[in-house]
A and B are shown apart, each in its own frame.
Chain A
Amino acid sequence: MTITEKILAKHAGKIKVEPGENIWVDVDILLTHDVCGPPTFAIFKQQFGIDAKVWDPEKVVIIPDHYIFTSDPCAKRNVEILRDFVSEQNLPHFYDVGAEMYKGVCHVALPEEGFALPGQVLFGTDSHTSTAGAFGEFATGIGNTDAAFILGTGKLWVKVPETMKFIIDGEIPSYVMAKDIILKIIGDIGVDGAAYRTMEFAGSGVEAMDMESRMTLTNMVIEAGGKNGIIEPDETTFAYLTKRTQRSYEPVTEDKNARFHSVTRYTSEQLLPMVAKPHSPGNTAPARELRKTKLNRAYIGSCTGGKLSDFYAAARILKGREVTIATYTVPATTEVSAGLKSTRIDEQSLWEIFENTGCKIGPPSCAACLGGPADTFGRLNQAEVCISTTNRNFPGRMGSKQSQVYLASPYTVAASALTGQITDPEDYL
């Protein structure tokens, strides 16, 4: 069996499962946030009763992150609903807004807090829950009804997916990031190219990646329609976890005779900085073919491109230079934000580099990645043309329907922020 099949079989109490089979699995962690938590809790109470208790408070993780720094009264009210539910249910894992333990973007916070664990089953009320698959677990996004069902029962039905394996062979060029690789794959297979399937990443290129880069790969499988993304856990995974958590877990590895829907191999010469043009993550082209595309906004942030290593990459290019277009940077979490101050390149902290080059730095949250309320930091309120490290460039995704979004790696976004047009970062490294 594949890694995904083995995890699902184990959580269904079965020795073996086959792709296409519908099974009921036991859930290890349910993740929710401020947008989908409140309606999930409403369904939970409606279905299980006003006095119902969640199946296991230790397994519910609530990380508000979407609409945090806004004056929108409905958005604020939704955070209040989270607070009420947490206090009523006595839930220990809540990262409240304004509290010392506030984190920010849930998919980056989850592993930081040691909740992304090999061999486990994670469901979250957000499509980018797939991110945690980088730790060798089955992780996927669900809606509010499914989440409410889990809250009451600890179980959910799933159809066992077929696995598409992507092998990245050899050394990845220094100017290519994980974001370029996943954009390349999405462009090749299309935005529904992995529909209902697992995307598994392997090969020496993936083995050489740190955890944050691996998370970028599994984060964007949903943009190819994938059910989950997964990477076999290894020493890099275990080293990350040792620093983060005491929780126990049982890693799952692939069987030698595992069967795949397909196996696709990429070699280093196929990899180069990629950009997804408006209005689809699958509308890709190499950055160098889009030179002279004029921009007036750059954005660095989100679960895809707002991790410390993403900011480090951008800072390498920006240092000692000045941006020529409005550039908004949003660290995914408070930990990333602190890292901007404690991490240095030569004599300057990353925070100083962003400030000195003319970038605006916002507080940790999802911010403008998905538009949000009108007063959201970095939101595209008009016909801006933006290059962004985020994950989606659907019409109106970052705000106005008149805006256009190009998706790229932190290197490419930083280089483009300097020139005001799409720029291949190879020239700046």
Chain B
Amino acid sequence: MSSIIKGKAFVLGDDIDTDQIIPAEYLVYRPDDAEESKNYGRYALSGVPSAKSGLPAGNIPFVAEDGCESDYRIIVAGKNFGCGSSREHAPFALQKAGVQAVVATSYARIFYRNVIDGGFLTPFESKMDISIRIKTGDVVEIDFNQFKLFNRTTQEEYSLIPLGEVAAIVQAGGLFEYARINKMV
């Protein structure tokens, strides 16, 4: 795993639920079919109300019309990210859209588990709510070793919370990889 993730940030507010991340009507597509699964990227974050999509300005589509991938690599959000349904299609949709990391103040627990056990992307927790300090489109860089987020657009830096006990699963790349390393499967 590279120790640096760099890209444009897409900023969201508090309590982003999994219906907003991937609306239920799209859950019919097969994640294991290469063509069909592109729809998860296409509709990622399509349930977010327009005014709250891409803060602070809002009305910014996460994925361009007719596209299946987003220009934004890093999601920055407030508290309780991923609340609601247990659909693993939610972190999968973000991954398919090209997201490599989410930085939120806190996560809903099933989403957090799914992100880590499925190895879709890396979920970081920020020490303070940085969703009110970063603007959609700012270029940010996450350093895994230092647990820092640098805003290259404004030259500000913020501390992230170390992954703690789940770090071993994240580093392995997911639950199955972790279990194999530890000779559990």
B residues with a Cβ closer than 8 A to A are 15, 17, 19-20, 23-25, 27-32, 36, 47-49, 79-80, 83-89, 91, 106, 108-110, 113-114, 117-118, 165, 174-176, 179, 184-185
A372–B24 Cα gap in the complex (Å)? 6
Chain A interface residue bracket vs B = 35 or more
- Check if A280 sits within 8 Å of B88, measured CB to CB: no
Which one of A143, A280, A374 lies within 8 Å of B87 (CB-CB)? A143
Sample of 21 A–B contacts (CB below 8 Å): A39-B88, A42-B31, A43-B32, A74-B30, A129-B86, A143-B87, A143-B88, A143-B110, A143-B113, A144-B118, A149-B176, A149-B179, A157-B175, A192-B83, A225-B83, A374-B25, A392-B84, A394-B20, A395-B48, A396-B47, A401-B47
B50 to chain A, nearest CB (A): 8
Tell me, in angstroms, the Cα distance from A142 to B113 when the chains sit together.
8
Q: Which residues of B contact A18 (CB under 8 A)?
A: none
Instruction: Contact check, A75 vs B106: say whether CB atoms are below 8 A apart.
Output: no
Q: Which residues of A contact B19 (CB under 8 A)?
A: 370-371, 392, 394-397
Contacts of A401 in B (CB 8 A): 47, 49
- Which A residues are CB-close (under 8 A) to B31? 39, 42, 144
Provide the bound-state CA to CA distance between A372 and B85, in Å. Answer: 13
Q: Is the CB of A396 within 8 A of B87?
A: no
Given contacts A39-B31, A146-B113, contact A396 B118 (CB under 8 A): no
**Min CB distance, B54 to chain A, in Å?**
15
- A143 in contact with B117 given A195-B106, A195-B109 (CB within 8 Å): yes
A395 partner residues in chain B, CB cutoff 8 A: 19-20, 47-49
A138 to chain B, nearest CB (A): 14
> Which chain A positions have C-beta within 8 A of B20?
394-396
A81-112: CB near B (< 8 Å → 1, else 0) gives 00000000000000000000000000000000
Partner of B28, one of A74, A127, A145, A152: A74
> Please, which residue of chain A has its CB at the minimum distance from the CB of B80?
A192
Kindly state whether residue A204 has any CB partner on chain B within 8 Å.
no
A-B contact number at CB 8 A: 136
Which residues of chain A come closer than 8 Å to B48, judged between CB atoms?
A: 395
Q: Which residues of A contact B108 (CB under 8 A)?
A: 192, 195, 225
List of 7 A-B pairs having minimum Cβ-Cβ separation, nearest first: A143-B88, A74-B28, A143-B114, A141-B86, A42-B32, A192-B80, A145-B118
Bound-state Cα–Cα, A196 to B107, Å: 10
Once bound together, how far apart are the Cα atoms of A109 and B110, in whole Å?
23
Contact call A225/B80, Cβ cutoff below 8 A:
yes
Let me know if B15 and A191 touch, CB within 8 A: yes
What is the CB-to-nearest-CB distance from A214 to chain B, in angstroms, rounded to a whole number? 22
- Decide yes or no: A371 and B25 within 8 Å by CB, A195-B106, A394-B17 being known contacts: yes
Whole-angstrom distance between the Cβ of A218 and the nearest chain B Cβ: 15
What is the interface of chain A, defined by CB distance below 8 A to chain B?
Answer: 22, 35-36, 38-39, 42-43, 46-48, 66-67, 72, 74-75, 77-78, 125-127, 129, 141-146, 149, 152-153, 157, 191-192, 195-196, 222, 225, 227, 280, 370-374, 392, 394-397, 401
Q: Which residues of A contact B29 (CB under 8 A)?
A: 74
| Bound CA–CA A82/B29 (angstroms) | 14
CB < 8 Å: which of B86, B176, B179, B185 contacts A143?
A: B86
A185: shortest Cβ distance to chain B, in Å?
16
Complex CA gap A38/B88 in Å reads: 12
User: Would you give the shortest CB distance from B104 to chain A, in whole angstroms?
Assistant: 11
Distance in angstroms between the alpha carbons of A153 and B179 in the assembled complex: 11
Q: Are B114 and A127 in contact (CB under 8 A)?
A: no
Known: A74-B36, A195-B108. 11 other contacts (CB 8 A): A48-B185, A126-B86, A127-B85, A143-B88, A146-B113, A149-B179, A392-B19, A394-B20, A396-B47, A397-B24, A401-B49
Q: Is the Cβ of B87 less than 8 Å from the Cβ of A195?
A: no
Q: Are B86 and A127 in contact (CB under 8 A)?
A: yes
Q: Are A192 and B32 in contact (CB under 8 A)?
A: no
Once A396-B23, A396-B47 are accepted as A-B contacts, the answer to whether A127 and B175 lie under 8 Å apart by CB is no
A64: shortest Cβ distance to chain B, in Å? 13
A42, A141, A142, A373: which contacts B25 (Cβ < 8 A)?
Answer: A373
Contact, CB under 8 Å: B174 / A227: no
Which residues of the partner chain B approach A125 to less than 8 Å between Cβ atoms?
86
* Chain A residues in 8 Å Cβ range of B47: 394-396, 401
Q: How far apart sit A42 and B20, CA to CA, in the bound complex (Å)?
A: 25
Kindly provide the distance from the CB of A275 to the nearest chain B CB, expressed in whole angstroms: 18
